[in-house]
Structure formats: C-alpha cells, structure tokens
Chain A
Amino acid sequence: MFAFDGGYDPGQASHTVLLELRRTIERHPAVQHASGEPPGQFIRVVATLDPAILGSEADEGTLTLRWYAGEAADADPEFVFHYSENSGFDCGWHHEPNPHVDGWAHYQERLSADDEYEYEAVSFDSLQPVPLLWGILDRLEIRLTDR
C-alpha cells in the first residue's frame, strides 16, 4: 500500500485493510452488524454475530478483527480474528509473535473466562486479508458445530 507521497505507510495500509474487512464481513449471513472500534479510532473491527447460524447455542457472539500490515511493505502482517460468546467460550486465530507455539500462526481457545487458554499451531493458505477472513469464518463454523 502506497501512501499519498508514494512511500509505504503502515498505518494507512492497516487502516485500508480494516475498512475492507468490515465491508466484506457484513456479507456473511451470520453477521448482523460490523463497526470500527473504538468509535472514531477504528483500530479494530467488531462484528456482532448470530451464533445459531454458526451452529452455536449461545445467545450472543462477537468476532473482533485486528490487522497490522507490518512495518515494511514486504513484511508479514500481524492479525487476530477472535470470537467470543456470552456462554464464556472464546477462541481465535492469531498471527503474531507469541511464546506458545513455534512460528506466528496459532489457534487458541478456552471454555470459560476462568480457564487457561489452550494453544495449537496452525497454518493459513493465504495471508491476504479477505480470503483469510472467509477461511476463518469457515473454520469458526466447523469449530462451533463440532463443539
């Protein structure tokens, strides 16, 4: 992503992706509403979901998306797609430096807020934001249906 003056701006690149992720996620049938949060700052996207469509019995669920495009144009992005519901269950697919698994890509979940997270190394077919989003929405549905 090129800034207005032709240089790379990580803030601009990340912001552009967040805008596009918000636009895209609203196309998913489980998503009722998605907005940039905190209001006015737009450092993450929060989507309100209907968990029933994803196979969960919870009443409410949210998916929080963070995206940082990297300090340089050719750097790998850091991102988080994290789901939580009012049953206390939460889980997410993350790509960031962490002490839990080798490499950046991992899945983490806990059954309630009192539990410790369990971590598992995963891989992603694509690190492009929009294809990745659809892949993760699919993985989320599989996880919630199998639970």
Chain B
Amino acid sequence: MTDESGAELWKEHQSAFDRVRAVAVTVSEPKPADWIAEQAHVAGNTARDHLQRLVEMNVLRTATGGTATRYEPDPLYTRMQALRNLLDDRTRDDLLKLRGDLQEQVEEWQTEYDADSPSELRERAAHADTAEATREMRQTANDWDIIAYRLQLVGDAIEHYADYAGSTPAPA
C-alpha cells in the first residue's frame, strides 16, 4: 500500500511552506534540502527557498560539516514553542500544581517498578516475566521520558513566569 493519496490530502490542506516547516521541525538529525523536499512533496528549489526563510526566522538552523547544507530545528525556537504552549491559559499556580502532579507521577513509577530512570525501567522490561509486561514497561519508559522533559519545561516556566507571561494577555 502506498500513501500517495495521503500526500494529495496533505497538499490540499497545507501549503508548501507549511509542509516544509512541518517536516523540518520534526527531524531527529540534520537533513539536506532534497531529502526534506521529497518528504514534504515540494520541488527542490521550493524547499530551498522555504528552508532559507525558516533559517532567517530562527525556526531552523544549518548544521556544519558535510558537503550539502543540512537543516535542523533551532533548539531555542523549539523550546520557546513548547513553553508558549505550556503557558497558554495557565497561571503560575496552575504550573505549580502541574509540577506537583508530574513529580507525583514519576515517584509512582519509581516505586512501582523500583527504577530511578526511564533507561533503568527499559533494562527491567527486558527481563520481565511476560511479553505483555515488557510491552507495558517499555511504554511507561517512553511516557516517562516525555514527562521528564515536561518537568524541565514547567520548572523553566515557573522560574521565569514574570518574564514569559508578560507577553501573555491577562485572564479576563
């Protein structure tokens, strides 16, 4: 089965610029323009134009080394987007409560699995009694990695709340 008609659907509902941006901000490693163009279903020159603009906007940055220019998300932009999403509609008290909830979740996993970190839990998962238990523990380890990042973000948002929220409209 191919996903060609999925590409048609995508092209119908998102512009070439949006498609290039969506691919480029979610790569795990720096990628050249031609690779991004292929994934985003745009022509190579179109991708290069949009990528250049995204670099000027500080959404992306270029990676050094290698022959072709490669692009990756700008970590500052990535973090800013995540913080903005976290701060939307949340007061400082909401964030303090959220931090407590996230910490409680991590402590529950630590107790339940007798593991201090997601990677330790993955090691335990490899030696679990059943395939189902392995699967569940791996899933929890994946969630735990995300929660650990969320906790960092919430900590940052609380620490700098006055600066960050200064640009947020006051609640009605």
Chain A residues within 8 Å of B, Cβ to Cβ: 1-4, 6, 8-20, 23-24, 27-29, 40-43, 66, 68-71, 73-74, 78, 96-99, 122-126, 128-132, 134-139
Q: A96 — which chain B residues lie within 8 A by C-beta? A: 135
* Cβ A17 vs Cβ B26 within 8 A: yes
Comparing B49-57, B77-85, B108-116, B158-166, the segment that makes contact with chain A is B77-85
* Cβ A137 vs Cβ B82 within 8 A: no
A-B contact pairs, 5 of them (CB 8 A): A19-B85, A41-B102, A68-B145, A130-B26, A131-B10
* Cβ A137 vs Cβ B145 within 8 A: no
Q: A69 — which chain B residues lie within 8 A by C-beta? A: 28
* Cβ A74 vs Cβ B29 within 8 A: yes
Interface SS, B side: helix
Q: Please, which residue of chain A has its CB at the minimum distance from the CB of B2? A: A125
* Cβ B149 vs Cβ A15 within 8 A: yes
Given A4-B79, A73-B28, CB of A138 within 8 Å of CB of B72 = no
Which 3 pairs of residues, A with B, have the shortest CB-CB distance?
A135-B3, A11-B149, A135-B6
> How near does chain B come to A134, taking the closest CB pair, in angstroms?
4
Chain B residues within 8 Å of A, Cβ to Cβ: 1-3, 5-7, 9-10, 13-14, 19, 22-23, 25-29, 39-41, 72-73, 75-76, 78-79, 81-82, 85, 98, 101-102, 105, 119, 122, 131, 134-135, 138, 142-143, 145-150
Given A134-B7, A134-B10, CB of A13 within 8 Å of CB of B28 = yes
Query: Which of A43, A70, A122 is in CB contact (< 8 Å) with B28?
Result: A70
Q: A29 — which chain B residues lie within 8 A by C-beta? A: 13
* Cβ A1 vs Cβ B13 within 8 A: no
* Cβ B135 vs Cβ A97 within 8 A: yes
> How near does chain B come to A70, taking the closest CB pair, in angstroms?
7
* Cβ B6 vs Cβ A16 within 8 A: no
Cα-based distance from A129 to B28 in the complex (angstroms): 11
Q: Please, which residue of chain B has its CB at the minimum distance from the CB of A44? A: B143
Apart from the given pairs A11-B145, A15-B149, A18-B146, 4 other A-B contacts in the complex at a CB distance below 8 Å: A4-B76, A10-B145, A41-B102, A131-B39
Given A130-B23, A131-B23, A139-B3, CB of A2 within 8 Å of CB of B147 = no
* Cβ B142 vs Cβ A27 within 8 A: no
Query: Which of A13, A19, A28, A122 is in CB contact (< 8 Å) with B81?
Result: A19
Given A24-B22, A29-B13, A68-B145, CB of A1 within 8 Å of CB of B7 = no
* Cβ A40 vs Cβ B101 within 8 A: yes
Query: Which of A27, A28, A97, A131 is in CB contact (< 8 Å) with B7?
Result: A131
Q: A74 — which chain B residues lie within 8 A by C-beta? A: 28-29
Q: A130 — which chain B residues lie within 8 A by C-beta? A: 10, 19, 22-23, 26
Given A1-B78, A11-B145, CB of A135 within 8 Å of CB of B28 = no
Among A8, A16, A126, max chain B CB count under 10 A is at A16
> How near does chain B come to A76, taking the closest CB pair, in angstroms?
10
Q: B81 — which chain A residues lie within 8 A by C-beta? A: 16, 19
* Cβ A12 vs Cβ B101 within 8 A: no
